[in-house]
Structure 1
Amino acid sequence: MQEEFDYVIVGAGAAGCILADRLTACGRHSVLLLEAGGEGRDFWIPIPAGFSRLLVDPRFNWRFETTPEPNTLDRVIAVPRGKGLGGSTLINGMIYVRGQPADYDRWQSLGADGWGWRDVEPYFRKLERYAGGGEARGHEGPMHLTQVAERHALADALLAAAAQAGQPFNPDYNGPSQEGFGYYQVLQHRGRRWSVVDGYLNRARRRPNLSVRTGAHVLRVDLDENGRRCVGVTYRRGAADVRVRARAEVVLAAGAVQSPQLLELSGIGDPRVLASIGVPPRHALPAVGENYIDHFCTRMNWRVKDARTLNELTRGWRLGLAVSEYFARRTGILTLGTGLVFGFARSRPELPAPDVQYFFMHASYANAAERRLDRLPGMTLGVAQLRPRSAGSIHARSADPFSGPDIRPNFLDAEEDQESLIGGMRLARRIMGQPAMARYVEREISPGTATRTRAQWLRFARENGQTIYHPIGTCRMGADASAVVDPRLRVHGIAGLRVVDASVIPAMVSGNTQAAVMMVAEKGADLILADGAG
């Protein structure tokens, strides 16, 4: 079977849905959007607190895992990635962080010309419909964005404790300055999750020039005889293999885990990797799958006294009350995602900008990977280094397109990463030790007050840290030999093929990555349309 479209987009996550909307808006181009998952419909998807169920649901999560590595004591670490229309915006914690302007200026210094802060800031405004004020923010975009509405005595106490520890209060970390503590901003509207399906894809699907195929697993991108131009893709849907011709371009938007894997399955990558999986090389591009960077987070827990936490409020009759409140008023604990209070701080006072991020919740996990809460009252302060320098790789494990890739994060390899994370954990303990928290802290559960030396802190991080699901960099943009795409997101050496997703990001942004990915897709769509017009 064969079909033909102007543009073929592979992957319907955050980037793919935005591209589908922007490329069809003018009505001149026919676009096919391919998604291996389904329609992304489930009772829990619009309910913010449903993330804890969806993150372990194989219908909506690819449930990838890392290959055991000595840096994390040979543990297998979950790497969730969204599956279905909307991708990870269906299952994530909804937290929205632009990052620091210096992050994007660094992209430019690494060879991503045209991606400095002044270039990308208008695209953040373009996508935002922020319910708060501020001239620096967008208020008319398709993505509804609001501050977390829920409040709790423990959260208020944490903000007071942070102030006692010398940390400023910040009403808008996406505004003029990121530093400080306050309440997170989330992609929600009237108490419901607001995904890219809600913001972009639903309106795009009303246009006759967009075709959407779910259950369509792309097997490879197809190149011409010389291997110099991409002419389409081949995907499997049910028992049928379908070949699609792209008159203009194929755009990979499968994410930092699957875009490099798909390139390698198509014979595009490091010849040594391709030989190891038995794929004939079509185009040598050694950087494919390299430069994998992710945020690594430790979770420090405290046993709570004199307050009820989510550990108790999500059980039995109290959960029933919470469900009733949510469906009656769209308020209460079911509107919560993965973070209530944020913190962006410097682990060492001499640093020019924050290098650690905090996630506070009045809850504690018995098992973080499985999202199982403790039964006794607890609270958690997650600690992540903002801009890790440790880099790993993601490569195809075999020639089987239905087999997950080999994911090697190489967490905590760089000494700078170790120092920032340890400094961040020490600061977290200092904040929790302030007078404002004394009424509520019964004891530190993990790592426990016996952990004091650098070696002990590092051991705790290696034993307990997890990714917080922000993979980037595996198809890095730039002009040098270690880049996969150029600053216009075109794959080096192959016409008619681009990558527009988290994999092109050359260096980590200071915070959760979904805002940056949406910005990349908005700017990428403009680049595609401009080149097409030319």
Structure 2
Amino acid sequence: MSEYDFIIVGAGSAGCVLANRLSENGRHTVLLLEAGGSDLNFWIWMPIGYGKTFYRPSVNWMYHTEPDAALNGRVSYWPRGKVLGGSSSINAMVYVRGQAQDFDGWQAMGNPGWGWDDVLPYFRRSETNDRGGDAFRGDNGPLHVATMDRDLHPLCRDFIAAGGELQFPHNPDFNGATQEGVGTYQNTAKGGMRMSAARAYLRPVLRRANLRVETGALAERVLFEGRQAVGVAYRRNGQVKTVRARREVILSGGAINSPQLLQLSGVGPARLLRDTGIEVVHALDGVGRNLQDHLSIDHLYRSRVPTLNTQLHPWYGKLWHGLRYVLTRRGPLSLGVNQAGGFVRSRPGLDRPNMQLFFSPVSYTKAPPGKRPLMNPDPFPGFLLSAQPTRPTSRGHLEIRSSDPKEPPAIHPNYLATEIDMQEMLEGTRLLRRLAEAPALARLIEAEMLPGADIRSDDDLIADIRQRAGTVFHPVSTCRMGPDVARDVVDARLRVHGISGLRVVDASIFPTLTSGNTNAPAIMVGEKGADMILEDCGAGG
């Protein structure tokens, strides 16, 4: 049996960080297991290739939730990266850290060392911001973060002006001193190509003698001696292999795969494990519970003026912009799908923004739910406005269906289960109407196509939300960090409660969902988790 100091399961946003940092000093041997394959794929590296990888099983777990009553019994499609880089290789690339209060809230929930002042250094250490570094931004980290302004569609200026007409301030940097306001997003890119966690952290160190990366390696269970994690069993090329960890096993499979693997390994709700024929190693009820995700609503408008549809719908537009991207790495294909947006308060009396906005100068009425294939927009000029409440209070759960590692777990999002969550979705849709009625945007709009001008009452808007609202693909908290062993899964050092030699380091440990996109904080968790692991090994040694 092969032995390594550290075995990391999952080469996603946090796992790639861990592989780099834990092997950095040369003192430890590290094995990184990834169920998917290589990220050397044109559609991954090309930013707008997001639309191509959305339904591609070779790089995507392609999960589906259980029917959700609050969404009229609809099933939600949850893409998750199954490739080096994980979901950072197939996401929409928006770089948002969250609000300082999010992390101070984590600390207040009983997680010392996770307040804003504690995590900010890790955000800064992880990034190279193309605008340069300052007290908030990093300028020497592996993850390159790009400003998109030079290639933004001019309608983004009209969106920002409309925000100003509603008294929302212009914010040039959502990751600076404050998140509040409207402006343009930055994305994880360099040189017009995606900057996934694999490109940032893994590819530069693949030749390290003390780091081994195995792709096509599906972890089937963590191996235990008593309540000590000692290794991992995984399947590769049809054969089951086992490896032993001299120091620790670290799960970085994300909010779906990490709790799934814990449950398959006998760590989770005892009744569930027994019902699926799995021997209980350690009963831990929180595994798979406390699931949170962001839900959003889109409003679609037909435009009086040209949008990206005008450029990209005709065959010659596709050809021109495709050639432009290949030759220069410039133009709309070098950007993500969300260009402008913001963080605002949907009602008076709030102490901080509760709503994230997205503006996309493109539309697609025939795309599958959640998919935004930029190269196949509508044949008429159109654009999208979207609103997403930042801190939902509903909680769902996931659980294995059987002892078969290849069978996807049952995912129960439990969207809109609280009154405040529905209230905020309704406030979000009314806010989109206010933006569309602001002079800067109103002059551009020929018609509201969805939900439609005849949908006006609260009841009608709620019905529209139940029929059309969709995930923004930010699942977290299924291995929640906290001190309560009856409800939480890991402690503030990310060690699994009641188990030695086992940690979880990924977005599943978030105590609560952050205010915005989740990739940047997942990478931060990888950075901070690596430091904790090395410290606990003895001053980095």
Shift of residue 151, structure 1, vs aligned partner: 2.1
Structure 2 residue corresponding to 1:469, chosen from 470, 473, 481: 473
Indicate the SS of the match to 1:162: helix
Pair 1:395 & 2:399 matched: yes
Aligned residue type for 1:439: R
For 1:30-429, what aligned pairs fall within 5 Å after superposition? 30-133=29-132, 134-149=134-149, 150-224=151-225, 226=226, 228-310=227-309, 313-366=312-365, 367=367, 368-371=369-372, 373-429=377-433
1:205 Cα deviation after fit = 1.0
Instruction: Tell me if structure 2 keeps the 8 A contact 1:306–1:439.
Output: no
Deviations 1:144-200 (A, max 9, x none): 112123222321111111111111111011111111111101011111111111211
Is residue 2:521 matched to residue 1:520?
no
Query: Secondary structure of the residue that 2:248 maps to in structure 1?
Result: strand
Query: Which of 366-375 and 170-179 deviates more?
Result: 366-375
C-alpha contact 1:220 1:262 (8 A) present in aligned 2:
yes
Q: Distance in 1 between matches of 2:421 and 2:181?
A: 21
> 2 CA distance for matches of 1:452 and 1:505?
37
Q: Which moved more, 1:12-21 or 1:445-454?
A: 445-454
Q: Distance in 1 between matches of 2:411 and 2:164?
A: 40
The separation in 2 between residues aligned to 1:230 and 1:244, in whole angstroms, is 11
**Bigger CA drift: 420-429 or 81-90?**
420-429
Task: Report the Cα offset of residue 451 of structure 1.
Answer: 2.0
Letter aligned with residue 521 of structure 2:
A
How many Å separate the matches in 1 of 2:296 and 2:534? 38
The alpha-carbon distance between structure 1 residues 314 and 527, as it changes in their structure 2 partners (threshold 3 A), is farther
Per-residue Cα deviation, 1:244-276 (whole angstroms, up to 9, x for no partner): 100000000000001001000011100111122
SS state of the match for residue 43, structure 2? coil
AA partner of residue 527 (structure 1): M
Q: Is the 8 A contact 1:339 1:360 kept in 2?
A: yes
Report what 1:485 is aligned to: 490
CA distance in 2, matches of 1:54, 1:113: 38
Structure 1 unaligned residues grouped into runs of 5+: none
Provide the identity percentage: 46
Quote the residue 2:504 is aligned against.
499
Does residue 533 (structure 1) correspond to residue 534 (structure 2)? The answer is no
CA contact (8 A) 1:219 1:236 kept: yes
- Residues paired across the two proteins, number: 531
Could you tell me how far 1:45 is from its partner in structure 2?
1.3
Distance in 2 (alpha carbons) for counterparts of 1:423 and 1:410 = 20
Which 5+ residue runs of structure 2 have no aligned equivalent?
none
Secondary structure at 1:381 match in 2: strand
CA distance in 1, matches of 2:31, 2:313: 42
> 2:13 matched to 1:17?
no
Native 8 Å contact 1:154 1:440 kept in 2: no
Moved over 4 A (4+): none
CA distance in 2, matches of 1:127, 1:371: 29
Contact 1:263–1:288 (CA under 8 A) maintained in structure 2: yes
Q: Take 1:282 and 1:464, find their aligned partners in 2: how far apart are those partners?
A: 42
Contact 2:234–2:241 at 8 Å: present in 1 too?
yes
CA distance in 2, matches of 1:531, 1:341: 42
Separation (CA, whole Å) in 2 of partners of 1:389 and 1:63: 25
Summarize deviations over 1:348-403 as a string: whole Å, max 9, x none: 02111110101111112222334353332210011111011101001112111001
Q: Distance in 2 between matches of 1:251 and 1:128?
A: 23
One-letter amino acid of the structure 2 residue matched with residue 191 of structure 1: G
**Which amino acid counterpart does residue 68 of structure 2 have in structure 1?**
E
Question: Aligned residue for 1:446?
Answer: 450
Deviates more, 1:325-334 or 1:260-269: 325-334
- Give the TM-score of the pair, scaled to structure 1: 0.97
Name the CA distance, whole Å, in 2 between partners of 1:308 and 1:500. Answer: 41
Q: Specify the SS of the correspondent of 2:290.
A: strand
Q: Whole-Å Cα distance in 2 between the matches of residues 69 and 198 of structure 1? A: 36
- In 2, the alpha carbon distance for the partners of 1:125 and 1:35 equals 27
1:61: Cα distance to partner? 0.8
TM-score (norm 2): 0.96
User: Which letter does structure 2 place at the counterpart of 1:350?
Assistant: G
Deviation, structure 1 residue 311: 6.2
Aligned-pair CA distance for 1:466: 1.2
In structure 1, distance between residues paired with 2:10 and 2:159: 40
